[in-house]
């Protein structure tokens, strides 16, 4: 058996539980410590996730104490604007990092994190789970294989019934000082990432109209994106929806069209042909933790969601927020 990686988790709220379970399911990793200012959040993680009979992880209230405990790898599951500082603290201490999305709330922070990871020769991965899911991998393969020709237009919609997250006082998500923004930087982060990762296109400029709907953060976003090759995307995001979750990406290429949706799965149609629903991939989904451990052990060359994806998303997000303020298209960079 490989030497067990000593894991810490920073931030023990809702999203941390799945990561903790994934760590505990492996025989080459162990969860030695957790940290959160909230004892209640730590209680909840331990009682729901750590099986009876297993030594519970040590508990701390901040990252410094967690680092002093001695860990090899850290999973960061905290409010968005804290990510960059926490990533830096861990990397300079020689700790590998898997950070939840978004990697950073600014492109400058994302770049600094990438530079630190390479200077300290540590793995820096993002918890974008769609990169490990068969349907999204198939979609990327279809586009990057050239089967659809050149992608000239992408149409994207993410609609959720989650306005309550952004009502002032409801949670850190409603406070821009902690969240860095609303729905576009939160769930929108996954979908911007998918648009960029599947298409492999490089964004050049973004024009965005944003409605905060009386909150302090974006609730509804309509954005238009131009890519360096002249292709365009139209991107709509709303947390004000009667449907609980609709997620749709359509890629229009010179040879065919591919659609990917939470409700309808993956399909594509080449010009003049029938709509094809490709056979589901036989390879199992790969969870972010499993991929992260494999990369640390050198069994995979790089994370399935590498930090460059976090930089690209931060660039588009920043440009969209700038554009909503300036009223003009803003360059990505």
Ligand X SMILES: NC(=O)c1ccc[n+]([C@@H]2O[C@H](COP(=O)([O-])OP(=O)(O)OC[C@H]3O[C@@H](n4cnc5c(N)ncnc54)[C@H](O)[C@@H]3O)[C@@H](O)[C@H]2O)c1
Question: Rule CB under 6 A: which residues touch ligand X?
Answer: 10-16, 35-38, 41, 77-80, 82, 100-101, 127, 129, 171-172, 186
CA atoms of 190 and 40, how far apart (whole Å): 28
Is the bond preceding residue 146 a cis peptide, omega within 30 degrees? no
For residue 141, the minimal CB distance to ligand X (Å) is 22
For residue 80, the minimal CB distance to ligand X (Å) is 5
The length of the chain, given as a count of residues: 333
User: What does R_g of the chain's alpha carbons equal in angstroms?
Assistant: 20
For residue 38, the minimal CB distance to ligand X (Å) is 4
Q: Which is nearer to ligand X, 78 or 215 (CB)?
A: 78
For residue 155, the minimal CB distance to ligand X (Å) is 22
Q: Which is nearer to ligand X, 197 or 227 (CB)?
A: 197
Closest among 243, 264, 221 to 135, alpha carbons compared: 264
Please tell me what DSSP assigns to residue 306: B
Q: Which is nearer to ligand X, 74 or 319 (CB)?
A: 74
For residue 31, the minimal CB distance to ligand X (Å) is 15
For residue 34, the minimal CB distance to ligand X (Å) is 9
For residue 271, the minimal CB distance to ligand X (Å) is 35
Q: Which is nearer to ligand X, 77 or 151 (CB)?
A: 77
The residue number whose beta carbon is nearest to ligand X equals: 13
Q: Which is nearer to ligand X, 148 or 314 (CB)?
A: 314
Closest among 72, 64, 78 to 3, alpha carbons compared: 72
Q: Which is nearer to ligand X, 183 or 226 (CB)?
A: 183
Q: Which is nearer to ligand X, 11 or 256 (CB)?
A: 11
Q: What sections of the chain are H helices per DSSP?
A: 16-25, 39-49, 63-68, 83-92, 107-119, 134-144, 176-179, 187-199, 288-296, 307-326
Query: CA angle, 175 as apex, 170 and 178 as ends, to 5°?
Result: 120
For residue 102, the minimal CB distance to ligand X (Å) is 7
Instruction: Extract the tokens encoding 30.
Output: 């162990």
Please tell me what DSSP assigns to residue 261: E
34, containing H or E segment = strand 29-35
Q: Encode 195-228: b = buried (16+ Cβ within 10 Å), e = exposed.
A: bbbbbebebbbbbbebeebebbbbbbbebbbbbe
Q: Answer yes or no: are the C-beta atoms of 175 and 186 closer than 8 Å.
A: no
Q: Which is nearer to ligand X, 96 or 173 (CB)?
A: 173
Q: Answer yes or no: are the C-beta atoms of 226 and 203 closer than 8 Å.
A: yes
Query: CA angle, 151 as apex, 149 and 157 as ends, to 5°?
Result: 140
């Amino acid at each position: 058996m490989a030497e067990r990686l000593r894991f810490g988790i920073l931030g023990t709220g809702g999203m941390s539980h799945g990561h903790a379970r994934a760590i505990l399911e492996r025989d080459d990793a162990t969860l030695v410590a957790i940290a959160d200012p909230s004892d209640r959040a730590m209680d909840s993680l331990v009682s729901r996730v750590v099986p009876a009979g297993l030594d519970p992880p040590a508990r701390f209230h901040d990252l410094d104490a967690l680092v002093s405990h001695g860990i090899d790898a850290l999973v960061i599951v905290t409010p968005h604007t804290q990510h960059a500082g926490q990533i830096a603290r861990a990397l300079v201490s020689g700790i590998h990092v898997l950070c939840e999305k978004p990697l950073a709330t600014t492109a400058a922070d994302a770049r600094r994190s990438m530079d630190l990871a390479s200077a300290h020769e540590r793995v820096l991965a993002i918890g974008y789970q769609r990169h490990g899911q068969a349907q999204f991998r198939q979609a990327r393969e279809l586009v990057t294989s050239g089967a659809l020709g050149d992608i000239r237009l992408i149409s994207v919609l993410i609609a959720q019934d989650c306005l309550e997250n952004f009502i002032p006082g409801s949670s850190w998500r409603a406070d821009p000082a902690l969240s860095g923004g609303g729905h576009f930087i939160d769930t929108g982060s996954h979908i911007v990432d998918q648009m960029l990762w599947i298409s492999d296109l490089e964004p050049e400029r973004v024009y965005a109209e944003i409605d905060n709907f009386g909150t302090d953060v974006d609730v509804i976003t309509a954005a238009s994106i131009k890519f360096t090759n002249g292709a365009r995307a139209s991107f709509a995001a709303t947390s004000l929806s009667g449907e609980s979750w609709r997620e749709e990406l359509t890629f229009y290429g010179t040879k065919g069209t591919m659609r990917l949706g939470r409700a309808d799965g993956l399909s594509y149609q080449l010009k003049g042909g029938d709509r094809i629903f490709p056979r589901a991939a036989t390879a199992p989904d790969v969870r972010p933790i499993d991929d992260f451990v494999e990369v640390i052990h050198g069994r995979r060359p790089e994370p399935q969601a590498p930090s460059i994806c976090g930089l690209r998303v931060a660039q588009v997000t920043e440009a969209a927020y700038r554009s909503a303020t300036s009223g003009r298209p803003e360059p990505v960079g």
